[in-house]
Amino acid sequence: MDPTKALEESLDSFGREYERAFADAPTEQALRDEKARLLGKKGALTEALKLMGKVPPADRKRIGERVNGEKSAVEGAFDARLRQLHAEARARELSARPLDLSLPGRAPIRGHRHPISLVTDDLLAIFRDLGFIVVEGPEVELEENNFTKLAFPPDHPATDMQDTFWVEVAGAPSDARTLLRTHTSSVQVREMSRRTPPMAIVSPGAVFRRDDDATHSPMFHQVEGFLVDQGVSMADLRGVLAAFAERLYGPGTKTRFRPSYFPFVEPGAEIDVSCALCKGAGCRVCKGTGWLEVLGCGMIHPEVFIHCGIDPEIYTGFAFGLGVERLAMMRYGVPDLRLLFENDPRFLASF
Ligand code: DAH
C-alpha cells in the first residue's frame, strides 16, 4: 500500500479518542499511563511515525505538519486534564474536615516491674525486716569464690551439677580462672572475707548453669542469705526461716527440714514449706505431698570460715539459698519457666 495513504489512514483512525480517555482518567497516574500509551515508545502515534521514512518527499511536509499537529493536540489535552486533576485535589483538601490539633495524643505504653523483680523485692523486704542488709555480688566470678573457698574440692562431683560457662579474662593470671557464677553463694565468700562478724546479709542476683528445659533456664535468679556471729545455732536458722515462710505464705505455714548435702555447710538441709494451695492436704502443685521445696541451707562449714579469715572457734553461722523463679512460678501459676524470659508483652502484661 502507498505509504502516504497508509500513514494518513492510521492518523485518521487515531481520531480524538484520547480526549475521552484523558477525561476519564481518575488520577494523575492513570492520566500519565494513558498518555504513554499514545506517545510512548510503543504508542499508537509512534508506530504510525515509523512509516514516515517511506513517505515520498513531496508529501512529507504536509504529513509531517499533520503528525506534529496531532502530537501537540495530545500534549495540550494532557496538560489541561492534569491541571484539572490538581485543582480537584486541592479543592478536596480545602473542603476536607480540618486537622484537629486538640485531639489527645497517643499515650506511650507504660512498663512495669518484671515478675522476677516483684518476687525478689518481696523476699528482700522480708529479710530486711528481720535485720538483714542487702549486698550484691558480680555475675562474672572467680572460680575460688564460686567453688574452691566454698569447700568444693577440685573436680568434686558436686561441681557437675553446676556445670557453667567459663570466661576468658585478658591479662588474668593463669591460675585465676573465671566463670559465670553458678549460685549466689559466692557472695558469702566475698563478704565474709572483707567484714568482721556479726553480719546478716542477703544477696539477690542472676546465676548461670548449663540447664535448659521447662523448669530450668541457663540463667535464673537466687537470693542468698547468711548470718555470722558468736553462738549462732541451727535453732536460729530454723527460727529465721520459719518466720520468713510465714511472712511469704501466710500465718500458720509450716516448715520442715530434710537432711541434704552442700559442700559449704555442715549439717546441710533442705527446707520444705506446707503447700500454700492445699494447706498440706496434697494437690497438683505439691504433687500430692502437701509440701513444697523452697531452699537449701545449713550451718556454715568451718573450712569456709577459715578460707575467709574468720575463726571457726569463735564464730558460727548459717546460710541459705533459694531460687526465685520457682517461687514466682508458684505464686503466679506460671506453667513454663521459659515464659518468664521470652519477654512476650502479652504474657508480661498479666502481672
Ligand atoms: N548454692 C546452693 C545452690 O545453688 C543453694 C544453697 C544451699 C545455698 C545451701 C546455701 C546453702 O547458702 O546453705 O544449689
Ligand 1: which atom is nearest the Cα of residue 222? Answer: 4
Determine which residue's CA is closest to atom 10 belonging to ligand 1: 320
Question: Is the bond preceding 198 in cis, omega lying within 30 degrees of 0?
Answer: yes
Write down the pLDDT at residue 123: 96
Mutation test of ligand 1: which of 132, 141, 209, 264 has the most ligand atoms closer than 8 Å to its C-beta? 264
User: What does the mean pLDDT of the chain come to?
Assistant: 89
User: 201-237: b or e for each residue (b if 16 or more CB lie within 10 Å)?
Assistant: bbbbbebbbeeeeeeebeebbbbbbbbbeeebeeebb
| Separation of CA 168 and ligand 1 centre (Å) | 26
Write down the pLDDT at residue 322: 96
For the entire predicted model, the pTM comes to: 0.69
| Separation of CA 296 and ligand 1 centre (Å) | 5
Dihedral, 327, 331, 332, 336 alpha carbons, nearest 10: 40
Determine which residue's CA is closest to atom 2 belonging to ligand 1: 321
Name the percent of the chain lying above pLDDT 90. Answer: 49
Which residues' Cβ are closer than 6 Å to ligand 1?
183, 185, 224, 262, 265, 296-298, 319-321
Write down the pLDDT at residue 97: 82
Per residue in 64-80, pLDDT (tens digit) is 888 888 888 889 999 99
240 — phi, psi (to 5°)? -65, -45
Write down the pLDDT at residue 103: 84
Give the list of residues 6+ apart from residue 78 with CB closer than 8 angstroms, or none.
Answer: 22, 31, 35
Confidence of residue 274 (pLDDT cuts 50, 70, 90): confident
Whether 152 has a pLDDT exceeding 70, the answer reads yes
Rg (alpha carbons) of the chain, rounded to whole number: 42
279 — phi, psi (to 5°)? 55, 35
Mean pLDDT confidence for 330-341: 86
Question: Is the bond preceding 197 in cis, omega lying within 30 degrees of 0?
Answer: no
Per residue in 118-149, pLDDT (tens digit) is 999 999 999 999 999 999 999 999 999 999 99
Confidence of residue 219 (pLDDT cuts 50, 70, 90): very high
Contact in structure between 218 and 208 (CB atoms under 8 Å) = yes
Mean pLDDT confidence for 317-328: 94
| Separation of CA 310 and ligand 1 centre (Å) | 20
Calpha distance 224→184 (Å, rounded): 6
241 — phi, psi (to 5°)? -75, -30
Q: Which CATH number fits domain 115-348: 3.30.470.20, 1.10.357.10, 3.40.50.11540, 3.30.930.10?
A: 3.30.930.10
Write down the pLDDT at residue 318: 98
Calpha distance 114→348 (Å, rounded): 7
Per residue in 235-261, pLDDT (tens digit) is 999 999 999 999 988 888 889 999 999
Q: Which has the minimum average pLDDT: 40-44, 149-153, 173-177, 179-183?
A: 40-44
| Separation of CA 324 and ligand 1 centre (Å) | 13
Q: According to the 3-state scheme, what is the secondary structure of the chain? A: CCHHHHHHHHHHHHCCHHHHHHHHCCCHHHHHHHHHHHHCCCCHHHHHHCCHHHCCHHHHHHHHHHHHHHHHHHHHHHHHHHHHHHHHHHHHHHHCCCCCCCCCCCCCCCCCCCHHHHHHHHHHHHHHHCCCEECCCCCEEEHHHHCHHHCCCCCCHHHHHHCCCEECCCCCCCCCCEEECCCCCHHHHHHHHHCCCCEEEEEEEEEECCCCECCECCEEEEEEEEEEECCCCHHHHHHHHHHHHHHHHCCCCCEEEEEECCCCEEEEEEEEEECCCCCCCCCCCCCCCCEEEEEEEEEECHHHHHHCCCCCCCCEEEEEEEEHHHHHHHHHCCCCCCHHHHCCHHHHCCC
Whether 49 has a pLDDT exceeding 80, the answer reads no
Calpha distance 68→61 (Å, rounded): 10
Confidence of residue 262 (pLDDT cuts 50, 70, 90): very high
Domain boundaries along the sequence of the chain: 3-95, 115-348
Query: How far out from the chain centre does Cα 116 lie?
Result: 14
Confidence of residue 39 (pLDDT cuts 50, 70, 90): confident
Write down the pLDDT at residue 162: 63
Per residue in 90-125, pLDDT (tens digit) is 999 888 888 888 888 898 888 899 999 999 999 999
Write down the pLDDT at residue 234: 96
Calpha distance 209→146 (Å, rounded): 12
Per residue in 285-314, pLDDT (tens digit) is 788 898 888 899 999 999 999 999 999 999
